[in-house]
Amino acid sequence: QHEAEVKQLTEALREITKENRRLKSSFDTLKEMNDSLRKQASCDVSELNKKLEGQARKVQARLENLQRKHEFLTVQKSKDICQVVQQSKPVKQEKGTVTSKIAKVPLNSQVYELLTVLMDWISDQHLSKIKIQEEREDSHKLLFTQNSKKTYTQEKCMKV
């Protein structure tokens, strides 16, 4: 009977040992698969990270180019405005020299009125040039402006 118990316990020990080996084998297999998946995920993440960094550099370069373009266009527009103002300044300076020459002669009220009308006319013409340049995109407005400009010029000539 003792031998039967020893044999039974030995058989149970073998079964438990066999089960432990099977579990250890399964655990090792799962561990290898886990490591393999971790390495694959790490490689995928690294590859995706490099791709996104490349895209980020391209987007950053695009942004910088657009900012430079915006600055250039802003400077260009301000230069255009300065040119319009500079073109209008010589005319005003010429009229200023005329008024300074006239100022040496005693002036009566009619001369003052004439100078006022002429200066208003010159100022209005320069302002209308700027408006016309802004409204060039809309041809209807441009035609309307030209027609009203003719009438305006006739009125000013009548005043003078």
The pair of structure tokens assigned to 116 is 């006022």
Burial of 114 (0-12, 13-18, 19+ CB in 10 A): middle
> Which of 22-31, 109-118, 123-132 holds the top average pLDDT?
22-31
Between CA 93 and CA 95 the distance in angstroms is 5
Residue for token pair 């041809």: 139
For the ranges 14-28, 50-64, 107-121, the lowest mean pLDDT is seen at 107-121
| pLDDT at residue 102 is higher than 50 | no
119 contacts: CB under 8 Å, gap ≥ 6 = 95
Over residues 128-159, the pLDDT tens digits come to 776 666 666 555 555 555 556 667 666 766 66
Q: Where are the domains of the chain?
A: 1-87, 106-160
More confident call, 116 vs 141: 116
